[in-house]
């Protein structure tokens, strides 16, 4: 239940009220934005909220118990703070949105009435529709480990334990040419084996995408240069001369963990897990039954 300050409760008791909504959006990179459906700029809780951004909220529903509540926020891309490229690049996915009810005649009287995360975002005709999921949505997600042959840790995290700060796992390069959609020819990675940076992370240090990180789908060595295929996604155009740093990736297989990272003791998968073909197979003559692993 929302705790309203007494001043705001007294205002609700009047015949005519002057309240509006304000949204404080915190992206995963820590950047803050403020928007309001009022027609003037408001300063609430020490932050400025931008007016006339085209934002409007659908009917909000709050239920008792553990049911998951959602509310949609729709708006035109009229704010300079919101760009179609940033939405397409996923910068707003998982962002935290706090909703305030504010007396716009006296902005110091406000109440935090909701906190949610940005879920699905759809875009059409220059507009966006963001679904805000309540914090209870986290309880609706599968938790725990899955029994699978491949590792379920992210390379370099606490569970993995690999130190990606080692020089062997890092590279610095520059774009020489655009080979195709999401495919670039780069310099600076010559002599490095094909696939070393596949599934790794590339961070732009120059150009229109400076500061952004992207997943490397494939790395192919081509003599003194290399060709990188990036994960498909919208964003500013990549140009020749754009600089980047890159970190080696992992395909989550036991063979890669052992040979590339010498980290087999921390492997978080089950590489010897037999498949359905083994589990449902008949015992046949000539089989090896020595208690060893069924799969190599």
Q: Are 266 and 161 in contact (CB under 8 A)?
A: yes
The structural domains of the chain, ordered by start, are 6-140 (2.40.10), 167-247 (2.40.30)
Whole-number Cα distances in Å, 1 to 101, 116, 186: 14, 15, 55
Q: Are 193 and 168 in contact (CB under 8 A)?
A: no
Is the pTM higher than 0.95? The answer reads: no
Upper half-sphere CA count for residue 33 (Cβ side, 13 Å): 19
Among the listed ranges 44-58, 203-217, 248-262, which one has the minimum average pLDDT value?
Answer: 44-58
> Any residues with CB less than 8 A from the CB of 262 and at least 6 apart, and which?
none
Q: Are 95 and 73 in contact (CB under 8 A)?
A: no
Q: Classify strands 183-187 and 243-247 as parallel, antiparallel or unpaired.
A: unpaired
**What's residue 63's pLDDT?**
44
Per DSSP, the three-state class of 282 is: coil
**What's residue 149's pLDDT?**
87
Confidence of residue 145 (pLDDT cuts 50, 70, 90): confident
pLDDT for 77-103, tens place per residue?
345 666 767 777 677 778 888 889 999
Average of per-residue pLDDT across 150-156: 91
- Residue 230: Cβ-neighbour burial (10 angstroms; 0-12, 13-18, 19+): middle
If one counts every other C-beta atom within 10 angstroms of the C-beta of residue 49, the result is: 26
> Any residues with CB less than 8 A from the CB of 199 and at least 6 apart, and which?
215, 216, 217, 249, 250, 251
**What's residue 66's pLDDT?**
42
**What's residue 141's pLDDT?**
66
pLDDT for 245-285, tens place per residue?
999 999 999 999 999 999 999 999 988 877 777 667 777 77
Which among 59, 95, 90 is positioned nearest to 74, based on CA atoms?
59
């Amino acid at each position: 239940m929302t705790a309203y300050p007494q001043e705001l409760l007294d205002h609700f008791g009047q015949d005519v009220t002057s309240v509006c909504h304000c949204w404080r959006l915190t992206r995963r990179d820590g950047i803050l934005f403020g928007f309001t459906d009022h027609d003037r700029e408001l300063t609430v809780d020490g932050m400025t909220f931008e007016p006339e951004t085209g934002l409007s909220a659908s009917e909000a529903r709050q239920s008792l118990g553990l049911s998951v509540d959602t509310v949609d926020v729709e708006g035109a891309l009229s704010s300079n703070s919101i760009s179609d490229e940033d939405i397409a690049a996923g910068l707003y996915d998982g962002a935290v949105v706090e909703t305030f009810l504010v007396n716009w005649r006296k902005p110091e009287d406000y109440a935090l009435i909701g906190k949610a995360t940005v879920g699905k975002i759809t875009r059409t005709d220059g507009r966006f529709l963001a679904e805000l999921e309540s914090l209870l949505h986290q309880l609706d997600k599968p938790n725990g480990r899955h029994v699978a042959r491949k590792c379920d840790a992210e390379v370099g995290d606490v569970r993995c334990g690999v130190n990606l700060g080692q020089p062997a796992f890092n590279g610095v390069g520059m774009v020489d040419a655009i080979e195709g959609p999401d495919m670039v020819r780069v310099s600076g990675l010559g002599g490095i084996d094909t696939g070393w940076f596949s599934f790794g992370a590339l961070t732009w240090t120059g150009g229109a995408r400076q500061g952004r990180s992207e997943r490397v789908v494939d790395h192919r060595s081509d003599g003194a240069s290399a060709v990188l295929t990036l994960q498909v996604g919208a964003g500013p155009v990549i140009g020749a001369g754009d600089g980047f740093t890159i970190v080696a990736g992992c395909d989550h297989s036991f063979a890669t963990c052992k040979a590339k990272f010498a980290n087999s003791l921390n492997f978080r998968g089950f590489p010897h897990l037999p498949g359905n073909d083994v589990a449902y197979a008949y015992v046949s003559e000539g089989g090896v039954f020595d208690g060893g692993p069924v799969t190599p």
